Structure 1
Amino acid sequence: MNYFKKIMRFALPYKKFGVLNIISNVFYALFSALSFIALIPMLDVLFEKDKERVIIKPIYQGITNLKDFYKDYLAYQIQEYAQNDPSKALILVVSMVISLFLLKNIFRYLAMYFITFLRNGVLRDIRNELYDKIVDLPISFFSEKRKGDILARSGTDVLEIQHSFLSILELIVREPLTIIFTILMMLVISVKLTIFVFIFIPISGFIISRIGKGLKKKSDSVQKEQGIFLSNLEETLGGLKIIKVFNAEKIFGDKFKASTHRFYKFSNNLLNRQNLASPTSEFLGIVVIAILLWYGGRMVLIDGTLDGSSFIAYMGLAYNILTPAKAISKASYNVKKGNAAAERVLEILDTKSTIQDHPNAITKNDFKEALHIKNVHFKYENEWVLKDFSVTIPKGSTVALVGQSGSGKSTIANLITRFYDVTEGEIEVDGENIKNITQESLRSLLGLVSQDSILFNDSIKGNLLVANKNATDEEIIEALKIANAWEFVQDLPEGIDANIGDGGSKLSGGQKQRLSIARAVLKNPPIMILDEATSALDTESERLVQKALENMMQNRTSIVIAHRLSTIQNADTIVVMQKGVIVEQGKHQELLDKQGVYSKLVTMQSFE
């Protein structure tokens, strides 16, 4: 129930719908019970022709005689209206029964109408908050989680909460009230018979509760396995070319089928346990009805303490308890399933981001002097990736970071952008520690072009507007020209409105990279980070992209992380890294003259 309480905070903005639902359910439960009580006078009219007619208005003599007062009062009103005409009496009681059933169903609809706004509103708000949390969480969180698992939590788990937890809102008021009002009417008809019936109800409840044990654990297994096979599917779609070219369809197929087989087994166990609830509760209900028929029948036929019309109405009321009782027992199973789903959703919502803005963080809108990286140490887990790294990058200068793979170059980019926080040391912009600057304003000063061109399934224009949502078409075209991308964009039938496919699948590698550069140009940040922006390109594409980069880097502070050394020979400072440590630093020719690590790297790449 702890998870249920946490989920219920999402219902507070919709409490007016909850109140209206409760009011409607109160009336539904009342008319549900009264509709069966209304059968008594109708049965009297139909089957008790010889009964003495009530011509004197009855007087209320206390709750112990409530049933007789009710019957005599209705009989008196029918007599007053019908005046010994059986057909008129029948029309009156039938109209009364129809009216009560109509009112019952009107309020049932209203209750469902109001709860719909609450349920769907909560569903929307949970999804929105979950999305905001996913975007807010640091990159490190997702290196430990499967994408498919995140998708499962945002999709099926949230739906499970709607179908299980939120369905309880309907049951909390409607079903218990229906049972309470029905029991009151049953007590009015016969206290003795009602007490007899309720001896057997706790026994039924105990049996049903035993069936529900272990449902949360089984449901949790189902939902976790769903996350696994969704992850497998996501990886398959992302790496389809590699899978096909290496004929690895069977490897990935076996992995996927093993996961769906486990899902099949877990789902069977869960559903078979869940499906046992309904027939068991119905059978136990019929057993109670059968015992009721036997005992009540004796009261009518042998003892004479109960009249036939009251007994038939009583049987209707007893059966009226079965439906809400079954719904409550089913809801208890849903709570256990919803508990597992809520736990998985709340695990993300309750996760505290390790990258937080300082309470007194400032907003910095400009870059005036220099970016300082001071004595920075960093490790992802146990191994140090950077050790005592220091470099100063003056405004307007270009600093290149070079070194073998694993030397920590890209980690610098992750730390400057605060995708990760430094373990020790400081990074400062104009003398201000970036931890004291809001993440939004810090990142507004930065542009990023990475090795992987991250583009979205949208138009060229839509992809560039990510950098500046208020940009005009003219500004977009100008950015494309600077990035050497306009030459191919203008040849497309739809120009900047052309869709580029999933991840830019309709474009070549060089074209995608130039669009990434155009996006960075459109943002026009004072500091640009280029993380091996040309390493994945062929020679012709590299030439075009390199020209685009040079256009973009003019009069701008740039941090260039390079694998191909041919792209950074004009940098103001080249920082050579090895295993997280700076081993050399200087201009291109200076480093060549030293005949050190940089010179060896250049020689390895056959560059003069």
Structure 2
Amino acid sequence: MSNFKKILPFIFPYKRYAYLNIFFNVLYALFSTLSFMSLIPMMQVLFDQTKRNTVMPTYTGIWEIKKFGEDYLSYYITTITDTFGVGYTLSIMVAVIISIFLLKNFCDYMAMFFITFLRNGILKDMRNAMYQKTLELPLSFFSEKRKGDVISRISADVNEVQTSFLSILELIVKEPLTIIFTIIAMLAISPQLTLFVFVFIPVSGYIISIIGKQLKKKSTRAQQEQGIFLSTIEETLGGLKVVKGYNAEKYFGEVFRASTQRFFTLSNSIGNRQNLASPMSEFMGIMVIAILLWYGGNMVLIEKTLNGASFIAYMGLAYNILTPAKSISKASYSVKKGNAAAERILEILTQENPITSKVNAVEKNSFESNIDIQNINFKYEKESVLIDFSLHIKKGQTVALVGQSGSGKSTIANLLTRFYDVNKGSIAIDGVNIKDMNLQSLRGLMGLVTQDSILFNDTIKANISLGKPNATDKEIIEALKIANAYEFVKDLPKGIYTNIGDSGNKLSGGQKQRLSIARAVLKNPPIMILDEATSALDTESEKFVQVALENMMQNRTSIVIAHRLSTIQKADTIVVMKKGKIAEQGTHEELIALNGAYNKLVMMQSFE
């Protein structure tokens, strides 16, 4: 129930549908009971057991309402039969029964009609909340989670909550009310017989509850397994060239089949336990009915304390308890499955996001003087990547970061954009700590071109205008020209309106990278971060783009993370990094003259 309480905020926007559902469920439960009670007077007329009453009864108070109802009914039947005949009385009885059953089913439909809006509304809002949370959570969260597992939570788990967990709404209103109203009617007919029933109901409930004990644990494992095979699909599709190139189809096929086999075994176990709920509850119910037939038969035939028509209606009412009892037992198993799914959803929704804008964060829309990185330390889990790293970057400067893989170059870019937060030290822009700045305004100051050209399954225009959604076609074409990309874009079938496929797979690596550069050009930020921006370009394209980047970097502060040293020789400052620290720092000429780590890197690349 604690998980259900956490889901409640998603119900509030649709509470009017919940109230309407409850209202019609109350009416359904009432008419469901009345439909069996209405059989009593009809059978009494049919078997000529109606007590004749020609005196209109007088209402004497709530405690005598049962006697008043019976007397009034017998008076009405006697009067109608004497006036119009027994055939007319039967016709009225049949019409009343049909009307009650019609109202019962109408109320059932209306209850389901309104709960459909409630369930689908919760499904929509929960998916939106999950996706929004996915967008907000820091990169560090997803480095520990499989993508497929997150996808499984947004799709399968949310769906499980909608179909299974929300059956608790039925569980706490419709079925219990049907049982309560039915029991009240049964007590009205025969308190003795009803008390006899209550001896056996707890026994039945205990036997049924034993079946569902392991259900939640197995459901959690099944949902985790679903995340694993979705991850396998996602990774396989993302790396299909490698899978095929290394003839690894067999290996990945075995990994996937092993996962689906585990899911198959768990699903069978869960399904069979759920399937056992309905026949088991029905069998236990029939056992109670059989005992009732024996005990009630004695009351009718031997003790003569109950008339036949009332006993038949009573048996109908007793059977009427079975359907909601079955539904409750099935729903309680569904709730266990849904509870496991709800836990997985709430794990993401309640996840703390350490990288957020502070209350009253500084809105900064321009860059005036400098970026100051002071004694920062950073580690991914336990591995230290930066140690007491300090760097001062003036406005308009181009600062290049070079060094071996793992020296911490790309980490600087991740910390400047607050994809991660420093463990110690500070980063300030114009004297304002970036942790005190509004996150969106901070990232608005920066353009980012990453080593991996990240593009989306959309048009070229949509991909380039991410940082400037209202950009005109003319501005987009100008940005493409600066990035040396318009030469191939203009030859595409629909120009900038051409869809480039999943991850831009319809384009070459160099073309994709030039589009990434065009995207940064169009945004036109005061600070540009180029993380191996030209790494995917061929030599000829690199020359063109390098000239374009140099033009773009004029009068702009640029942080260039470079592998190819030929691209950063004109930088104002070159920082040589080694194991998270600065090994050397200076201009290209100064560092060559030092004849140290930088010179060694230049010599190695020249040799290559």
Structure-2 separation of matches of 1:61 and 1:487: 97
User: One-letter code of the match for 2:108?
Assistant: R
Cα RMSD of the aligned pairs, angstroms, is 1.7
Residue matched to 1:2: 2
Residue matched to 2:56: 57
1:553 aligns with 2:553: yes
1:198 counterpart SS class = helix
1:393 counterpart SS class = strand
Structure-1 separation of matches of 2:51 and 2:560: 105
Structure-1 separation of matches of 2:121 and 2:420: 35
Structure-1 separation of matches of 2:474 and 2:2: 55
User: One-letter code of the match for 2:402?
Assistant: V
Count of residues in Structure 1 that have an aligned counterpart in Structure 2: 607
Contact 1:10–1:122 (CA under 8 A) maintained in structure 2: yes
Residue matched to 1:364: 364
2:516 counterpart SS class = helix
Residue matched to 2:467: 467
2:232 counterpart SS class = helix
Residue matched to 1:305: 305
Residue matched to 1:202: 202
- Return 438-447 or 50-59, whichever deviates more: 50-59
Structure-2 separation of matches of 1:462 and 1:315: 68
User: One-letter code of the match for 2:166?
Assistant: L
Once the 2 structures are TM-superposed, how far is the Cα of residue 80 of structure 1 from its aligned partner? 3.3
Structure-2 separation of matches of 1:23 and 1:456: 48
1:395 aligns with 2:369: no
Residue matched to 2:77: 78
User: One-letter code of the match for 1:438?
Assistant: N
1:505 aligns with 2:505: yes
Structure-2 separation of matches of 1:381 and 1:464: 34
Structure-1 separation of matches of 2:432 and 2:64: 85
- Return 299-308 or 519-528, whichever deviates more: 299-308
1:576 aligns with 2:576: yes
Residue matched to 1:125: 125
- Return 242-251 or 359-368, whichever deviates more: 359-368
After TM superposition, the structure 1 = structure 2 runs for residues 145-294 of structure 1, keeping only pairs within 5 Å, are: 145-294=145-294
Change (3 A) 1:66 1:396: same
- Return 536-545 or 28-37, whichever deviates more: 536-545
Spell out, residue by residue over 1:479-498, the C-alpha distance to the aligned partner (whole angstroms, 9 max, x if none). Answer: 11211111111111211111
- Return 172-181 or 353-362, whichever deviates more: 353-362
Structure-2 separation of matches of 1:537 and 1:97: 81
User: One-letter code of the match for 2:273?
Assistant: R
Structure-1 separation of matches of 2:435 and 2:63: 76
After TM superposition, the structure 1 = structure 2 runs for residues 23-38 of structure 1, keeping only pairs within 5 Å, are: 23-38=23-38
After TM superposition, the structure 1 = structure 2 runs for residues 341-352 of structure 1, keeping only pairs within 5 Å, are: 341-352=341-352
- Return 551-560 or 205-214, whichever deviates more: 551-560
Once the 2 structures are TM-superposed, how far is the Cα of residue 272 of structure 1 from its aligned partner? 1.6
- Return 261-270 or 595-604, whichever deviates more: 261-270
What residue ranges of structure 2 are gaps of 5+ in the alignment?
Answer: none
Structure-1 separation of matches of 2:131 and 2:207: 41
2:95 counterpart SS class = helix
Structure-1 separation of matches of 2:547 and 2:301: 103
1:427 counterpart SS class = strand
Structure-2 separation of matches of 1:131 and 1:400: 36
Percent of residue pairs identical: 68
Change (3 A) 1:51 1:447: closer
1:392 counterpart SS class = strand
Structure-1 separation of matches of 2:310 and 2:384: 84
Once the 2 structures are TM-superposed, how far is the Cα of residue 540 of structure 1 from its aligned partner? 2.8
Residue matched to 2:380: 380
2:131 counterpart SS class = helix
Spell out, residue by residue over 1:322-349, the C-alpha distance to the aligned partner (whole angstroms, 9 max, x if none). Answer: 1111111112112211111111111111
- Return 54-63 or 32-41, whichever deviates more: 54-63
Change (3 A) 1:124 1:5: same
Once the 2 structures are TM-superposed, how far is the Cα of residue 525 of structure 1 from its aligned partner? 0.7
Residue matched to 1:97: 97
User: One-letter code of the match for 1:75?
Assistant: S
Spell out, residue by residue over 1:209-245, the C-alpha distance to the aligned partner (whole angstroms, 9 max, x if none). Answer: 1111111111111111111111111111111100101
1:385 counterpart SS class = strand
Structure-2 separation of matches of 1:240 and 1:247: 10
Structure-2 separation of matches of 1:441 and 1:557: 17
Structure-2 separation of matches of 1:418 and 1:308: 80
Contact 1:400–1:575 (CA under 8 A) maintained in structure 2: yes
Contact 1:372–1:427 (CA under 8 A) maintained in structure 2: yes
Spell out, residue by residue over 1:443-463, the C-alpha distance to the aligned partner (whole angstroms, 9 max, x if none). Answer: 000010001110000011111
Structure-2 separation of matches of 1:551 and 1:487: 18
Spell out, residue by residue over 1:128-185, the C-alpha distance to the aligned partner (whole angstroms, 9 max, x if none). Answer: 1111211111111110011111111111111111112212112211111111111111
Spell out, residue by residue over 1:29-48, the C-alpha distance to the aligned partner (whole angstroms, 9 max, x if none). Answer: 11111111111111122222
Spell out, residue by residue over 1:234-267, the C-alpha distance to the aligned partner (whole angstroms, 9 max, x if none). Answer: 1111111001010011111111111111111111
Structure-2 separation of matches of 1:34 and 1:65: 19
Spell out, residue by residue over 1:578-601, the C-alpha distance to the aligned partner (whole angstroms, 9 max, x if none). Answer: 111111111112211221111111
Contact 1:365–1:445 (CA under 8 A) maintained in structure 2: yes
Residue matched to 2:492: 492
User: One-letter code of the match for 1:164?
Assistant: S
Spell out, residue by residue over 1:256-309, the C-alpha distance to the aligned partner (whole angstroms, 9 max, x if none). Answer: 111111111111221122211111001001111111111112211222211111
Once the 2 structures are TM-superposed, how far is the Cα of residue 358 of structure 1 from its aligned partner? 2.6
Once the 2 structures are TM-superposed, how far is the Cα of residue 51 of structure 1 from its aligned partner? 5.2
Residue matched to 1:135: 135
2:100 counterpart SS class = helix
Residue matched to 1:422: 422
1:538 aligns with 2:538: yes
Structure-2 separation of matches of 1:303 and 1:400: 102
Structure-2 separation of matches of 1:485 and 1:77: 92
Once the 2 structures are TM-superposed, how far is the Cα of residue 66 of structure 1 from its aligned partner? 5.6
User: One-letter code of the match for 1:473?
Assistant: D
Change (3 A) 1:549 1:80: farther
- TM-score, normalised to structure 1, is 0.97
2:606 counterpart SS class = coil
What residue ranges of structure 1 are gaps of 5+ in the alignment?
Answer: none
User: One-letter code of the match for 1:394?
Assistant: K
Once the 2 structures are TM-superposed, how far is the Cα of residue 564 of structure 1 from its aligned partner? 0.7
Contact 1:483–1:551 (CA under 8 A) maintained in structure 2: no
User: One-letter code of the match for 1:566?
Assistant: S
Once the 2 structures are TM-superposed, how far is the Cα of residue 602 of structure 1 from its aligned partner? 0.8
2:125 counterpart SS class = helix
Structure-1 separation of matches of 2:500 and 2:38: 68
Residue matched to 2:43: 43
User: One-letter code of the match for 1:508?
Assistant: S
2:500 counterpart SS class = coil
- Return 545-554 or 250-259, whichever deviates more: 545-554
Structure-2 separation of matches of 1:64 and 1:386: 83
Structure-2 separation of matches of 1:594 and 1:588: 10
- TM-score, normalised to structure 2, is 0.97
After TM superposition, the structure 1 = structure 2 runs for residues 97-116 of structure 1, keeping only pairs within 5 Å, are: 97-116=97-116
